[in-house]
Amino acid sequence: MIDDSITIDGDIYRYYSDKEKMHILSILDIKKMIPVPTDCYERIDFNELEDIRYKDLFQKEYAFCLKIKTKILIKVEKYTKIKRKQEL
């Protein structure tokens, strides 16, 4: 949480009150990811990443996704059901 007076152009925030907001570092946009054709992704070995800052960011985002894995899977299942109904 950060003070509402702090704002960086182009960054994304989620407001919790008139005085506090959360600085969003990344967004997992499921509707742009599901389904993923097999030839459109590849496995990444973090140890092979040369840019230390990029590697650190990747590891933090991956750890965060693992922490909320259940929530992500629930949202993916919900989105998939909605899309299948729309296709009928």
Q: Give residue-wise pLDDT tens across range 33-82.
A: 777 888 888 888 999 999 999 899 889 889 989 999 999 999 989 988 98
79 and 55 share one domain: yes
Q: Which domain, by its residues, includes 71?
A: 33-87
Residues 14 and 39 in one domain: no
Q: How many domains is the chain built from?
A: 2
Q: Give the predicted TM-score (pTM) of the model.
A: 0.61
Buried b (16+ CB within 10 A) or exposed e, 44-62: eeeeeeeeeeeeeeeeeee
pLDDT in tens, 65-74: 999 999 999 9
**Domain identity same for 48 and 21:** no
Q: Is pLDDT at 14 greater than 70 in this prediction? A: yes
Q: In this structure, are 11 and 46 located in the same domain?
A: no
Whether residue 22 is found in the same domain as residue 37: no
Dist. CA 18–CA 25, nearest whole Å: 21
- Side-chain-side CA neighbours of 70 within 13 Å: the count stands at 1
